[in-house]
Amino acid sequence: MPDVSLTLAVTLVLVLAAEFVNGWTDAPNAIATVVSTRVLSPGWAVLMAAVLNIVGALTTGTAVATTIGEGIVKPGFISLPVVAAAMLTILVWSGITWYYAIPSSKSHELIAGLTGASLASAGQSVLLWSGWRKVLIGLGFSTILGFSFGMIIMGLLYWLLRHTRLSSIRNAFSRLQIVSSAFMAFSHGSNDGQKFMGVFSLALVLGGAVAKFHVSWIVMLICGSVMGLGTITGGWRIMRTLGFRLTRLEPVNGFAAETSGGLAILLASHFGIPLSTTHCITTSIMGVGASRRFSAVRWGMAGRIVLTWIITFPVCGVMGYLFSWLLKTIF
């Protein structure tokens, strides 16, 4: 039987690999619109997102991390192989969705994978309804609020700027969109960065490295830095889908979408609600496009994205279950 310290080390490496993938495939969502409107070059946008994702993860508390680490499943009933199985689920499903350039939710991959793995290990009694209630609330935040905020903010801007020259609008919002994309990147770090901090801290407890669950500043720094590194090294496939293949965006539209998504994310982070930042920014872009006219959104592409979101929970739940069963036989 492998040594506990070796199992812990492998699990922590898998957590950091999943956090890296989070920065690689999820964090670019925050800067997709600012690149598509050509306000920032991809290089500068990625660098800004990496830095602000780290800052967001380090400065906005640990409410979301605590929900993930203690609120979804009972820590006392799961093991390191269960956590490792959830991380493997994220790596596999993220790789598949990245290949097809579909923005997927790391939040839902994590929650479904952890749930499936826990069910394989300890049965239904391991689930905590209080945490799942927050997850369900997060679904509303990341879809309904994202779309609604996008339509409302864009509609308000249309009304306020109805007598302003188009050239003046573009010049002003080219600068403002830098601020809104920075806000979105910071918001992403405040919520998504915390999720893997929670899992990392949970693994430390399960491996006996610490006595009780606590998200230390060292864990925050490690996870935030790994996510930032992932953002720097990739993400163009997902950026292209959100920035170019959903609807046509001008700087004012990008500003509205990023502001809408960022507000929904920060509101959820304040209440410790784990949500999908992918859902937030994607539905915000849809809402902004629909505020111009319904046909402005490419609903075929939007439908493929939403279908992926729908099947993420069952697919990742099954994968988590199978990976947990496999790792239990090994460990």
Q: For 249-287, how does the pLDDT look when each residue is reduced to its tens digit (9 = 90+)? A: 889 998 999 899 888 877 777 777 767 778 888 899 999
Binning pLDDT at 50, 70 and 90, where does residue 62 land? low
pLDDT at 1 over 50: no
HSE-CB at 176 with a 13 A cutoff on CA atoms is 17
Query: Which of 93, 82, 78 minimizes the C-alpha distance to 18?
Result: 93
Q: For 155-181, how does the pLDDT look when each residue is reduced to its tens digit (9 = 90+)? A: 999 999 988 998 899 899 998 999 988
In percent, the amount of the chain with pLDDT more than 70 equals 93
- The residues pairing with 127 across neighbouring beta strands, listed in sequence order, are 73
Give how many domains the chain has, as a whole number: 1
CB atoms within 10 A of CB 139: 18
Phi-psi sector, 101: left (phi>0), alpha (psi -120 to 50), beta: left
CA distances from 8 to 1, 66, 206, 209, 329 (A): 13, 20, 8, 9, 17
Largest CA distance in the chain: 73
pLDDT at 63 over 70: no
62-76, 149-163, 193-207, 273-287: segment of lowest average pLDDT:
62-76
Domain that holds residue 309: 4-330
